[in-house]
Structures are given as structure tokens and as C-alpha cells.
A and B are shown apart, each in its own frame.
Chain A
Amino acid sequence: MILLYAITVGAVMAAGVYMMLDRNVFRIMLGLALVATGVNLIIFLAGRLGPVDPAIISTGTYALMEGAANPLPQALVLTAIVIGFSLTALACVLAYEATRTLGTLDADAMTAARDEGDPFGSEPAETR
């Protein structure tokens, strides 16, 4: 089970890293989102696989039942998912705006910031 799980995590991570190596900005952002998903899976694994019952304390008791899953990784992953969601949304908006303003999706062709104030550029930096 753990081996299968590890292979799945590896596959997700590999796909994410492959996309991150692309020059297309959107693909880089999607690749980052995929790698983040892979990390969420690792957190889950870190809490040990095994017990599967929902981690809910039923009425009248004060502790988790035998066989209940570890609730902490669930809380961590949930938080990480929510943060990942907002960051992916932000990254997409950012990539979209950058594409509209700079007219390209190619990370290599985006050189505006690198050229700003470059001491070896042919012209002195523009003043704003």
C-alpha cells in the first residue's frame, strides 16, 4: 500500500516538475500547483496510512475511538489545500495580466525587469 502510494506521489511530482521546466508561464504555474498537490500527499503519508475511520469524537465521549484516522495530517492538508487554492488563483491572475501587458507567455522572452537598470545595457536605464 505504501509502495503504491509512494509511486503515485512520485508520478504526480514528476509530472509537476516536468511542467515547471517548460518556458510557458502558465505551465510553470500549473506545474507548481501539481508539485504542491504531491507535497500534500506526502504530508498525508507522514501521518501514517492505516486507520480509516473518520476522526470524529462522537457524542458523550472525550477521546477518539480505536481505529480512527490521525486527525492532524488531515488538518494540515486541508490548510495546505486552501492556501494552495488561493495561491494558484493568484498565480493564474498574475500570469494572465503579465501576458496581456508583456504580450508573451514565454518566460525567456520576459526580460523587462532584467533589463531595467542593467549596467551592461546599450542605453542608460529609463527614468520613470
Chain B
Amino acid sequence: MNSVILHALTRLFFAAMLIFSIFILLRGHNEPGGGFIGGLAGASAYAVVTMAFGAHVAQRWLIIHPVVLCGVGLVCAILSGLPPLMGMGGSFLTHLWWIGEIGGVELHLGTTLLFDIGVYFVVVGGVLSMLFRLYDTGEEEAGW
């Protein structure tokens, strides 16, 4: 898309949306948010780049192939469920918690966080693999 405004603002938008998506991901612990919706927000950050510069640039910014990202996410999600099976008690996906303080800030960390990060990656990867494919073919046909 040849819009000067879009081109100029894309970097800004991209950074803002990506940070916001991570914020949504992390806030999902006790409040609305989480991996799925954060992942959608993250994917839309890349969708803006795709609209402005094309799928190839967005792919370069993503660094790894979207399907590989899906695989990484799935592996994270599986790993988050494994500790209980490794003799720590409970069934698959029973989440374990670690509550502590670092620098005066109380932290609640659990294997759910790893699970949510996994979901985040799967959603970003899944949406983008579809989006890139559609955008690639559309570009060729319309001759942009």
C-alpha cells in the first residue's frame, strides 16, 4: 500500500502494538487478557507491517517462519504441563506456582505463564502464516 502516512507511522505503530500485546499477555494472570488475545494483538502488529511494506518485510521482521513459531509455542505449552508428571505431583497441566519478591516487587510466577507464552506464539504464528500466504498471492495478482 502506497500511503506516506502509513509508511511513516508503521514503525511507531508496530513497536507500540507489540509492547501492548505483551502487556495484555502478562496481565492475563488475574485480569482480562492472556495468551490468545495477546497473540491476536501481536499478530495485528505484524499485519500493519504487512499492509505497509508487504509480506516479505513482515517475514523479515518476524525473523523465524510463522509455522516454526507455532511449533515453538506448542513446545512451550507442552513443557509447562510436564513438571507434575516428572514426579512433582498432580496430573498433566497441573500448574505450579512460585511466589517471591525481587527488588521489593511481589512476583507470582507459575508454569501457567509458560503455557500462556506458548499460546501467544501459536496464535501469532497461526494467524501470520495464513495472513502472509493470502497477502503474497494478492500482491502478485494486483501488481503492487
Residues of A within 8 A of B (CB): 82, 86, 89-90, 93, 96, 100
Q: From the candidates B36, B130, B137, name the one contacting A89 in the complex (CB within 8 A).
A: B130
CA gap between A13 and B12 in the complex, in Å:
42
Residues of A within 8 A of B134 (CB): 93, 96
**If A86-B126, A89-B130 touch, does A100 touch B36 (CB 8 Å cutoff)?**
no
Size bracket, chain B contacts: under 10
Whether A93 pairs with B130 at a CB distance below 8 angstroms is yes
Q: Which 4 A-B pairs have the closest CB atoms?
A: A93-B130, A89-B130, A82-B36, A93-B134
A82-B36, A89-B130, A93-B133 given; name 7 further pairs at CB < 8 Å.
Answer: A86-B126, A89-B127, A90-B130, A93-B130, A93-B134, A96-B134, A100-B137
Shortest beta-carbon distance, A61 to chain B, in Å? 15
Residues of B within 8 A of A89 (CB): 127, 130
Identity of the chain B residue whose Cβ is nearest the Cβ of A56 in the assembled complex: B30
Shortest beta-carbon distance, B102 to chain A, in Å? 22
Identity of the chain A residue whose Cβ is nearest the Cβ of B127 in the assembled complex: A89
CA gap between A89 and B130 in the complex, in Å:
8
Residues of A within 8 A of B126 (CB): 86
Residues of A within 8 A of B127 (CB): 89
